[in-house]
Amino acid sequence: MKTFLMIFGWIAFVTFDCWSQEPQATSLKTGQRPNVLFIAVDDLRPELGCYGSTIVKSPNIDRLAATGVTFTRAYCQQAVCNPSRASLMTGLRPDTIKVWDLQTDFRTAKPDAVTLTQQFMQNGYHVAGIGKIFHNNIQDPPSWSEPKLNVPDYPFDPDAVYRAKENVAWLEQRQAELTAKGDTRRIDQFGKWYLKHVATENVDVPDDAYFDGAQTSVAIEKMKALASADKPFFLAVGYYRPHLPFNAPKRYWDLYERDEIPLAENRFLPANVPLMAVNTAREIRGYTDFKTMPQPHEGSLTDEQSRLLRHGYLASVSYIDAQVGRLLNSLREQGLDKNTIVVLWGDHGWKLGEHNSWCKMTNFEIDTRVPLIVRAGDAKEKGQRCDRLVEFVDIYPTLCELAQIPVRNELEGTSFAPLLDNRALAWKKAVFCQFLREGIWVAPDGVTYMGRCIRTERYRYVEWKKPDSNVVTARELYDLDSDPQENDNIAEQPARQELIADLARQLKAGWRAALPESKLETTE
């Protein structure tokens, strides 16, 4: 009976959210500049039906993919929020903007940087944003035509919002304890408390009870206002789920049967992996029910704990999928769908027990590979999957080219707009990622390391160095043809040393040397 009710509920869910499928995207209206709907999703790995997942329920993002181009090998520049988002929004790599952590504002090193949204503003667009586009407390006011949209009564970082009575009671008690001590460090600039409690919450509330549902309602009203304005618009909507805590309305939890959710296949560290390559458990230990979980090199979560977290992640993805559906429906209802470029991206991947780890913050494929879907009305490859290597720094020049506004010379990516019309084009030889293992994510030996990574068609190669040294402390090499899960670091195998030397040369040569042949001439 339970299985029948779950199936019936899922059919009803799909019917409600997809009652009218998106029309096949058509050419942008003649003489009109396209609008842009820019959808960012925090901690979303490519765990979507359009990426081949057989477990997740994501009908709305899947229907976006059916009318857009799905990039199956897209990569972030660094698998943690602030560097990834700052790099994407500036079109510059982390080493250029000097952003490798959660605290640094990109304008410290690049005060005159012109962000993606600024470039659109300077070329006649009205730019509005809500939610998490840049990192939480780095809002960058110059990047918006108007003050950032908000939802009343939420803290500046509204991912940790609880609605269950027992959780609210715990938070009120904790606030009282901190107030009695005079400890106000968890009060934001708007006078609202920001506290985390448990890692999951399953409560029967409407979608708008949590921030992501509420902000979708605000974004839709803004979209309606912008539809009648005299300028084209760039509307950015940044979702917090499926970032921890996995707090989503009960109806999304009910889409899944926990006992049927598979666990990660590789719940172990890669063979021969250097420990600085493995992330710590610090992020998930920030929640009261997981504060004593072991580090990845020390032990594992129980099957029960693992399934709880995987269930919460899937429920959160489906919750966000429903909000994306609301945005797409509003575009159609406003008559905007035929003249709006839609781009959806997740800021980095996420581990759900893979490599005996959780969260992000490594150079592995599972952390650096990201979902990226682009729908432009006249794209010849709409509805197709593109397997060419692309990076987040490429999004800025791509959107400029699609909107026919100037592409800035200083950008460190290349427009992949040609792939929207021909996904078979020869493209980049490699993409580049990095991670700074320091501070709150310090390596198990207590030493700071920078890991720089090149990902080619077949291999992932990483060099770990201390920041003040050019000596390679450790190397990683994975053959993704024979070892797609990266379970065996083969960097020390004697037969691989010639290959390593070649990959090391490519890593040192950097991103310019990896550009498509057609793009090399324009950078010289």
Give the closest residue to 240 by CA, choosing from 136, 328, 106. 136
- For 281-313, the pLDDT digits (tens) are 989 999 999 999 999 999 999 999 999 999 999
Look at 433 and 29; give whichever has higher pLDDT: 433
Backbone angles phi, psi at 91, to 5 degrees: 70, 20
- For 191-229, the pLDDT digits (tens) are 778 899 999 999 999 999 999 999 999 999 999 999 999
55-64, 186-195, 420-429: least confident range: 186-195
Q: How confident is the model at residue 1 (pLDDT cuts 50, 70, 90)?
A: very low
Q: Can you give the pLDDT at residue 21?
A: 40
SS (H, E, C) 473-491: EEEEEEECCCCCCCCECCC
What is the percent of the chain where pLDDT is above 70? 92
- For 59-102, the pLDDT digits (tens) are 999 999 999 999 999 999 999 999 999 999 999 999 999 999 99
Joined together, the tokens standing for residue 501 give 């030397």
Residue 75's region, left for phi above 0, alpha for psi from -120 to 50, else beta, is beta
pLDDT at 179 over 80: yes
What's the CATH class of domain 34-158+205-429? alpha beta
Q: Judging by beta carbons within 10 Å of its beta carbon (0-12, 13-18, 19+), is residue 164 exposed, middle or buried? A: middle
* Concatenated DSSP letters of 321-388: HHHHHHHHHHHHHTT-GGGEEEEEEESS--EESGGG-EE--SSSHHHHEEEEEEE-TT-TTTT-EE-S
Residue 200, SS3?
A: strand
For the chain, which residues make up each domain, given as ranges?
A: 34-158+205-429, 163-196
Q: Can you give the pLDDT at residue 139?
A: 87
Q: Judging by beta carbons within 10 Å of its beta carbon (0-12, 13-18, 19+), is residue 72 exposed, middle or buried? A: middle
Count of alpha carbons within 13 angstroms of residue 325, beta-carbon side: 22
pLDDT at 521 over 90: no
- For 324-341, the pLDDT digits (tens) are 999 999 999 999 999 999
Sign of the dihedral defined by the CA atoms of residues 177, 182, 185, 190, in that order = positive
Q: Can you give the pLDDT at residue 31?
A: 57
* Average pLDDT over all residues of the chain: 91
Residue showing tokens 């970082």? 157
Q: How confident is the model at residue 520 (pLDDT cuts 50, 70, 90)?
A: low
Q: Which of 50, 76, 126, 135 is catalytic?
A: 135
Give the Cα separation of 73 and 385 in Å (integer). 10
Query: Distances from the Cα of 24 to the Cαs of 235, 252, 370, 422, 461, in angstroms?
Result: 22, 28, 25, 18, 40
Look at 71 and 160; give whichever has higher pLDDT: 71
Cβ atoms of 328 and 64 within 8 Å: the answer is yes
DSSP state of 134: S
| Dihedral angle over CA of 474, 480, 483, 488, nearest 10 | 0
| Dihedral angle over CA of 328, 329, 334, 337, nearest 10 | 40
Q: How confident is the model at residue 170 (pLDDT cuts 50, 70, 90)?
A: very high
Q: DSSP E strands: which ranges in 68-116?
A: 69-75
Q: H/E element holding 212?
A: helix 211-227
Give start and end residues of each alpha helix (H) in 434-475: none
Q: What is the mean pLDDT of residues 234-245?
A: 97
Taking the model in full, what pTM does it have?
0.93
Q: Can you give the pLDDT at residue 49?
A: 98
Give the Cα separation of 17 and 421 in Å (integer). 29
DSSP state of 284: H
Q: Can you give the pLDDT at residue 364?
A: 98
47-61, 139-153, 182-196: least confident range: 182-196
- For 441-467, the pLDDT digits (tens) are 677 778 899 999 999 999 999 999 998
Residue showing tokens 């990569």? 75
Question: Among this protein's residues, is 81 annotated catalytic?
Answer: yes
Q: DSSP E strands: which ranges in 242-303?
A: 246-249
Q: How confident is the model at residue 9 (pLDDT cuts 50, 70, 90)?
A: very low
Q: Which of 81, 359, 386, 433 is catalytic?
A: 81
Cβ atoms of 401 and 383 within 8 Å: the answer is no
pLDDT at 36 over 90: yes
Backbone angles phi, psi at 436, to 5 degrees: -95, 110
What is the percent of the chain where pLDDT is above 90? 83
Joined together, the tokens standing for residue 454 give 């090149």
pLDDT at 126 over 90: yes
Look at 5 and 81; give whichever has higher pLDDT: 81
- For 358-369, the pLDDT digits (tens) are 999 999 999 999
Query: Distances from the Cα of 277 to the Cαs of 306, 363, 410, in angstroms?
Result: 22, 7, 31
Give the closest residue to 379 by CA, choosing from 427, 422, 415. 422
